[in-house]
Amino acid sequence: MEEVTAMTINDMKPGQSARILKLNRGLQAGRRLFEMGLVPGARVKLVSRHPFKGPVLLQIANTQIALGRKMANSVEIEIQE
Partner 1 sequence: MAIVIIGNPNVGKSAVLNRLSGSNILVSNYPGTSTEISANPVKIGKKEITIFDTPGIYSIFSEGEEQKAIRDLFEREEIDLILNIVDASNLERNLVLSYELMDLALPVLMLLNQIDRARALGIRINEKLLSELLKIPVIPFSATTGEGLQEVWEIMESSSPEKKDKAIKEEGQRNKENLSRGKKPLQECSLNELRMGQCNGHCALCSIPADTCMSYADWRRVEKARTTADMVSSSLGERQRILLEKTQAFFDSSLLGTPVLLLLAYLAFVLLLKFVAISEGPITALLEPLNQTIESFLSNILPPGMLNTILSKAVPEGLIIPFSIIMPAMLMVACIMSLLEDSGLLPRYSVALERAGSFFGISGEAIIPLSLGFGCRTPAIMASRIMPTASQRFIVITLLSIVVPCAATLGILASVIAAFQASLPVIAGTMFAVLMLMGFILSRLMPREDAFIYELPPLRFPLWSNVGKKVKMRFSGFFTEVLPLLLIMSIAVRALLESGFLEIFRTMEAFTRFLFGIPAEAFIAVLVTIFQRYLAPLVLLNLDLTPREATIAISMIALSLPCLPAMVMTVREIGWSGLTKILGLGFLTSCSVGIMLNLIL
Interaction site with partner 1 (CB under 8 A): 26-29, 31-39, 41, 47-55, 57, 60-71
Cβ of residue 27: shortest distance to partner 1, in angstroms?
Answer: 5
What do you get for the CA distance between the two ends of the chain, in Å? 31
Cβ of residue 31: shortest distance to partner 1, in angstroms?
Answer: 6
Q: Give the nearer residue to partner 1 in terms of CB position, either 21 or 47.
A: 47
For residue 79, give the 3-state DSSP assignment.
strand
Cβ of residue 17: shortest distance to partner 1, in angstroms?
Answer: 15
